[in-house]
Amino acid sequence: MRSNLMFSYCVDPETLSGVKWLSCYLTTTKHSNLYYSFITVMVLLAITAPTALAFGFAGATAARSRILPLRWFGKGYISIVRGVPDIAFFLFFVIALDQAFEYVRHRIKCPDWSEPVRQGNDFVVCQAAKLPLGEAPQWVHETYGFFIAVLTFAIVFGAFAANVLFGAMRAVPRAQIETAEAYGMSPRQSFWRILVPQMWVYALPGLSNLWMVLTKATPLLFLLGVEDIVYWARELGGTALPRFTDYPHGDWRMWYFLALLVFYLGLTKVSEVFLERLMTRLTHGQATTGGESQRKAAA
């Protein structure tokens, strides 16, 4: 078993010590899984954040729609999803979502299937309806799990974002909309040209909180089989007995979690700097105290 492809001197780690041992230890294939999982988490955040924002925007718009059923839908989405605990959502909703997809495919692809889909506790669909197909390689399964995770995160965080945006839309001064109406703008025009550009400044504090929570919510992913950084830190840091590894060590989880702490603090700092700049830009020319003080400083 060659578990290290980086350095040639890592053949017999027992004879090594100090920095050399550490360089071998930190470059095992198992460790590269940890490094890849950082990428997984960053990609997940990069896809989930805009998707959740889109869900939130749609939810908020629906919740303040003039059409009653649409309003019910928007308000129902916001209150139901916000009320369900995340872990319950991840354990049951994701499995239900996956089964719903498979059920629809089952009805389309296997119309002459005679057995029931629900057999006791089992959920049985024909092989052709499986998502992904049973014979698909492992990476397809992992990618599928990843996108199911993105979708679930987007639905959960979208509900919170919808509530934030709903409040932000109401916070825009009524006088602004009245002026738009006086200029003869239609409701659609005043929504897109007046309300939406101005609401972000009210939404940003709430949205930035959501972003911070989202960055730390990724350990929930392992419930779906997606291995994130916390999973690998726990796995690699756990006691490694000499019988089962070339690199035995005690309970080193503290050091791994310390590394995660540094990573998360760094991510928080970068986010804060970015959000601070965004806030300055959004405040510009707004009828808020922030916008007013910017105007005075410039004058």
Partner 1 sequence: MKKLVVSALALALSSGLAMAKDKTVRLGTEGAYAPYNFINDAGEVDGFEREVGDELCARAELTCEWVTNEWDSIIPNLVSGNYDVIIAGMSITAERDEVIDFTQNYTQPDPSAYLATSADADISGGVVAAQSNTIQAAFIAESGNTLVEFATPEETIAAVRNGEADAVLADKAFLTPIAAEDGDLVMLDQEELIGGGVGLGLRESDTELKAKLDAAIQSMKDDGSLNALLEKWEIGPGF
253 binds partner 1 (CB under 8 A): yes
235 binds partner 1 (CB under 8 A): yes
| Alpha-carbon separation of residue 30 from 25, 71, 211 (angstroms) | 9, 50, 30
- Identify the residue among 15, 83, 135, 297 touching partner 1 (CB under 8 A): 135
> Cβ(286)–Cβ(279) under 8 Å?
no
41 binds partner 1 (CB under 8 A): no
> Cβ(132)–Cβ(141) under 8 Å?
yes
C-alpha 275/C-alpha 200 separation (Å) is: 12
- Identify the residue among 66, 174, 188, 243 touching partner 1 (CB under 8 A): 243
143 binds partner 1 (CB under 8 A): no
Q: Residue 210: which of 92, 52, 93, 90 has the closest Cα?
A: 52
User: Which DSSP symbol is given to 191?
Assistant: I
Centre a 10 Å sphere on the Cβ of residue 187 and count the other Cβ atoms it contains.
12
- Identify the residue among 29, 79, 186, 189 touching partner 1 (CB under 8 A): 29
> Cβ(218)–Cβ(44) under 8 Å?
yes
- Identify the residue among 53, 125, 159, 162 touching partner 1 (CB under 8 A): 125
CB 82 to partner 1: min, Å: 23
Which residues are bridge partners to 240 per DSSP?
A: 249
229 binds partner 1 (CB under 8 A): no
141 binds partner 1 (CB under 8 A): yes
Centre a 10 Å sphere on the Cβ of residue 261 and count the other Cβ atoms it contains.
10
- Identify the residue among 20, 21, 23, 32 touching partner 1 (CB under 8 A): 32
- Identify the residue among 47, 95, 177, 279 touching partner 1 (CB under 8 A): 95
Tell me which residues touch partner 1 (CB under 8 A).
Answer: 1-4, 28-30, 32-33, 91, 95, 98-99, 102, 119-125, 127-128, 130, 134-135, 138, 141, 222-223, 225, 227, 234-235, 238-239, 241-248, 250-251, 253
